[in-house]
Structure 1
Amino acid sequence: MNHIKLLFFATIRDRAGTKSLEIDIPVDLTILGLKEKLSTDYPNLKDSMKSVLITINREYAFDDAVVPSNAEVALFPPVSGG
């Protein structure tokens, strides 16, 4: 198992009910797998996982990226503006 820290921002923080969590994840879990795990373990986050922006150690990550041990994973809602 790998230990990671999750950081939640804006509306995702509101849905999570906290600004951060520390969890254990399987080795070689991808971002897509992490989104599926969060959707299952934290149902309030399920709708957010469809359009969430994710960084691993402050670098944007795509669904196929593997989450390393001791990573800081931040979840942001989509950015919009006008």
Structure 2
Amino acid sequence: MRVLYFAWVRQKVGLAEEEIAPPPEVRDVAGLVAWLAGRSPGHAAAFAQARQIRAAVNQEFATPDAPVAAGDEIAFFPPVTGG
């Protein structure tokens, strides 16, 4: 699974992307967020307020209950504002 981080999420994690192999019980975006938060202090800081982070699975916006699987590309980013 390839995970991409953008904007302040990337700054807190300290990586732009990483290849991961989460355990089988990680089946959706929310489970992935919870698992990632335990990987390092930077991950914990980035996902401390998970409601402020948006996700995309294979370049499609995803809700916390969206399924994830090996081989997927998951992106995490802050909400986008425009004007």
When normalised by structure 1's length, the TM-score is 0.83
What percentage of aligned pairs have identical amino acids? 32
Aligned residue for 2:47, secondary structure, equals helix
In 2: Cα distance, 1:47 partner to 1:79 partner = 19
Partner of 1:44: helix, strand, or coil? Answer: helix
Q: Which amino acid aligns with 2:63?
A: F
- Structure 1 gaps of 5+ residues are none
- Structure with the higher strand share, 1 or 2: 1
The answer to whether structure 1 residue 20 and structure 2 residue 17 are counterparts is yes
Aligned length: 79
1:1-82 equivalences in 2 (<5 Å): 4-27=1-24, 29-41=27-39, 42-82=43-83
After TM superposition, the runs of 4+ consecutive aligned structure 1 residues lying more than 3 A away are none
The Cα shift of 1:25 comes to 1.5
Give the letter for the 2:8 counterpart.
T
TM-score, normalisation: structure 2: 0.83
Please give the root-mean-square deviation of Cα atoms over the aligned residues, in Å: 1.5
